[in-house]
A = this chain, B = another copy of it.
Amino acid sequence: MLTFIKPTLVLDERRARRNIERMAERAGRLGVRFRPHFKTHQSHHVGRIFREFGVEAITVSSVDMASYFAADGWKDILIAFPLNILEIGEICRLASRCSLGLLVESPEGLPALAESVAAPVGIWIKVNVGANRAGVDWNDRDLLTKICREAVRHPRLRLRGLLTHNGRTYAARTSDALARVHADALRKMRRARQALAAAGFRDLEISVGDTPSCSRLDDFDGVDEIRPGNFVLNDVMQLELGICGEKDIAATVACPVVSTHPARNEAVIYGGAIHLSKEDVFSRKEGRIYGRVCRLHGAGWGKILPRTLVSSISQEHGVVKTTASELKKLKAGDILFVLPVHSCLTVNLWKEFIRLDGVKIPTIRSFDI
């Protein structure tokens, strides 16, 4: 049995494996390429589980992360973050080691890129279908065409297709709403592709990839590739959205209880923003939620404690709001398992997972490379 003396990131690898298997099967059934996003786990070990299920192409969110996975033998890597031309040196080194895909949202960086790389790189156009974070507006035919025109001018650039991250699915609080925003995104992507085909740019692929739609929906008409990432661990955000069940959450942070406060039904845990991240999910009923809470159960963690949540968080402290009866069972020195709100941000804080069998699974943080 695991023992803990301070906050510890714990991995239930059996659950992660099941999540991977399920998504790989879905991708197969949907007839799309499965290019999972590896920013969630940032771990060679977890990456290798994907390989067992036939995955050969991956997504990452930085040049550094691409280097980390290239070092473990990954040969087809897409950096799903807008081209940062200042990193051109490292991009060129990477392009010589693997088949590299890059994201652009303007034609400006392309000539410099084409001049610098020795091996061909794939060019994906980031398309904005309404999330308004980054990307070319799906109906900005002029800009889309300009980028394509510039890309095909250079033999070392290989125009691949259109890519979006439909972040609006995270605001969809019902299945209907999810299906609606997803269908809307696909319609816009197909229209953009059509417009470019009419302008002479044929055979462009469509790449999409948010965990909510990839986990729950079956209509991927016209899509060539999906890039979900979060599903491998899931988290309280996915749970609140109804995208996963609590048994699909594969990572928690084990936190020692340091005090209990019966007058306000609260416990203070050693586990704060530097262990969980400060991500919250807002619930009208419960306010800002920083995590759900479980107790030890067998070789892992048990069910989510009823009417219990991490209600506030500072650098090292978390405050767990619970019921009088749950609080009575708690004392300083006990361990609570906190299910994180956003597993990607939580995992990025740690240098390793502890697996339920006690084995340490290294993971990188953004600046370890």
Contact between B81 and A270, CB atoms less than 8 A apart: yes
A79 CB to nearest chain B CB (Å)? 10
Contact between A62 and B106, CB atoms less than 8 A apart: no
Contact between A268 and B134, CB atoms less than 8 A apart: yes
> Considering the chains assembled together, what is the distance between the CA atoms of A348 and B270 in angstroms?
16
Contact between B84 and A273, CB atoms less than 8 A apart: no
Instruction: From A64, A89, A133, A331, name the one whose CB has the most chain B CB atoms within 10 angstroms.
Output: A133
> Considering the chains assembled together, what is the distance between the CA atoms of A128 and B345 in angstroms?
31
Q: A82-B259, A315-B39, A316-B61 are in contact. Are A349 and B366 (CB under 8 A)?
A: yes
The residues of B that contact A263 with a CB separation of less than 8 Å are: 137
Contact partner, A133, options B61, B133, B319, B366, Cβ 8 Å? B319
Q: Is A152 in contact with chain B by the CB < 8 A criterion?
A: no
Q: Say which one of A49-57, A192-200, A216-224, A275-283 lies at the interface with B.
A: A275-283
A69-95 CB mask vs B (1 if < 8 Å, else 0) is 000000000000111111101000000
A65 CB to nearest chain B CB (Å)? 9
> Considering the chains assembled together, what is the distance between the CA atoms of A268 and B133 in angstroms?
7
Q: Is A118 in contact with chain B by the CB < 8 A criterion?
A: no
> Considering the chains assembled together, what is the distance between the CA atoms of A316 and B63 in angstroms?
11
Number of A residues near B (Cβ < 8 Å) is 59
A90 CB to nearest chain B CB (Å)? 8
Contact partner, A316, options B81, B261, B273, Cβ 8 Å? B81
The residues of B that contact A278 with a CB separation of less than 8 Å are: 277-279, 345
The residues of B that contact A133 with a CB separation of less than 8 Å are: 268, 312, 314, 317, 319
Q: Is A351 in contact with chain B by the CB < 8 A criterion?
A: yes
Q: Is A258 in contact with chain B by the CB < 8 A criterion?
A: yes
Q: Is A332 in contact with chain B by the CB < 8 A criterion?
A: yes
> Considering the chains assembled together, what is the distance between the CA atoms of A319 and B128 in angstroms?
14
Contact between A85 and B274, CB atoms less than 8 A apart: no
Closest chain B residue to A263 by CB distance?
B137
Q: A274-B345, A274-B366, A279-B273 are in contact. Are A264 and B132 (CB under 8 A)?
A: yes
Interface residues of A (CB under 8 A from B): 4-6, 39, 61-64, 81-87, 89, 105-106, 108-109, 132-134, 137, 167, 256, 258-259, 261, 263-264, 266, 268, 270, 273-275, 277-279, 312, 314-317, 319, 331-333, 344-345, 348-351, 365-368
Would you list 27 pairs from A and B whose C-beta atoms are within 8 A, ordered by A residue? Answer: A4-B86, A6-B86, A6-B87, A39-B315, A39-B316, A81-B316, A81-B317, A82-B259, A82-B332, A83-B258, A83-B332, A84-B256, A85-B333, A86-B333, A133-B312, A133-B314, A134-B319, A167-B314, A274-B345, A274-B365, A274-B366, A277-B277, A277-B278, A278-B278, A278-B345, A315-B344, A315-B345
